[in-house]
Amino acid sequence: MSLTRITAKSVSRVVATLLVIGALALVYGLVAGSVLGGRMKAEPSPAKALSEEVSASIAGGRVNEVQGTMDARLGAVPDVLTFMVVDRAGEIIAAKPKSLIGQNLEGFDIHIVRYPLGALGVPVRFERQGGPGRFAQIVFRGHDPDDGRVAIHFVYCTSPDGRGYVVLSSWLRSAELLARTQWLRQSLDGVDGIVRISFILFWLALPIWVYIDAREKGANAAAWGMLTLFTNVVGWSVYMIAGPKTVRCPACGTVQDSSHRACTQCGRHLKPVCAQCGSLIESRWSFCSRCGAKIE
Shorter beta-carbon distance to Zn ion: residue 2 or 286: 286
CB atoms inside a 10 Å sphere around CB 139 = 25
User: Dmax of the chain from CA atoms?
Assistant: 94
132: left (phi over 0), alpha (psi -120 to 50) or beta: beta
The answer to the question of residue 294 lying near Zn ion (CB under 5 A) is no
The answer to the question of residue 277 lying near Zn ion (CB under 5 A) is yes
In the complex, the smallest distance separating the C-beta of residue 272 from Zn ion, rounded to whole angstroms, is 11
In the complex, the smallest distance separating the C-beta of residue 205 from Zn ion, rounded to whole angstroms, is 30
CA nearest 154: which of 172, 139, 137, 173? 139
Contacting range for Zn ion; rule: CB under 5 A; set: 62-70, 187-195, 204-212, 264-272: 264-272
Alpha carbon 28 to its chain's center:
12
Contacting range for Zn ion; rule: CB under 5 A; set: 67-75, 93-101, 122-130, 276-284: 276-284
In the complex, the smallest distance separating the C-beta of residue 30 from Zn ion, rounded to whole angstroms, is 47
In the complex, the smallest distance separating the C-beta of residue 269 from Zn ion, rounded to whole angstroms, is 10
Report d(CA 79, CA 143) in Å as an integer. Answer: 12
The answer to the question of residue 129 lying near Zn ion (CB under 5 A) is no
In the complex, the smallest distance separating the C-beta of residue 274 from Zn ion, rounded to whole angstroms, is 3
In this structure, are residues 240 and 252 in contact, taking their beta carbons and an 8 Å threshold? no
Contacting range for Zn ion; rule: CB under 5 A; set: 34-42, 162-170, 229-237, 245-253: 245-253
Binding-site member from 245, 251, 259, 285 for Zn ion (CB under 5 A): 251
Shorter beta-carbon distance to Zn ion: residue 97 or 267: 267
Report d(CA 191, CA 181) in Å as an integer. Answer: 15
The answer to the question of residue 293 lying near Zn ion (CB under 5 A) is yes
CA nearest 116: which of 193, 200, 206? 193
Shorter beta-carbon distance to Zn ion: residue 237 or 276: 276
Contacts of 89 (CB under 8 A, 6+ apart): 104, 107
Q: Is the peptide bond before 97 cis (omega within 30 degrees of 0)?
A: yes
Contacting range for Zn ion; rule: CB under 5 A; set: 89-97, 149-157, 197-205, 244-252: 244-252
Size of the site for Zn ion (CB under 5 A): 14
Query: Strands 92-96, 80-87: parallel, antiparallel or unpaired by DSSP?
Result: antiparallel
Contacts of 115 (CB under 8 A, 6+ apart): 29, 33, 122, 123, 125, 188, 192
In the complex, the smallest distance separating the C-beta of residue 295 from Zn ion, rounded to whole angstroms, is 8
In this structure, are residues 165 and 58 in contact, taking their beta carbons and an 8 Å threshold? yes
Strand partners, 151: 171
The answer to the question of residue 266 lying near Zn ion (CB under 5 A) is yes
Binding-site member from 89, 252, 258, 272 for Zn ion (CB under 5 A): 252
Shorter beta-carbon distance to Zn ion: residue 66 or 247: 247
In this structure, are residues 254 and 263 in contact, taking their beta carbons and an 8 Å threshold? yes
> Where is 234: in which H helix or E strand?
helix 233-242
Contacting range for Zn ion; rule: CB under 5 A; set: 140-148, 177-185, 239-247, 273-281: 273-281
The answer to the question of residue 263 lying near Zn ion (CB under 5 A) is yes
Binding-site member from 186, 220, 276, 294 for Zn ion (CB under 5 A): 276
Site of interaction with Zn ion (CB under 5 A): 249, 251-252, 263, 265-266, 268, 274, 276-277, 288, 290-291, 293
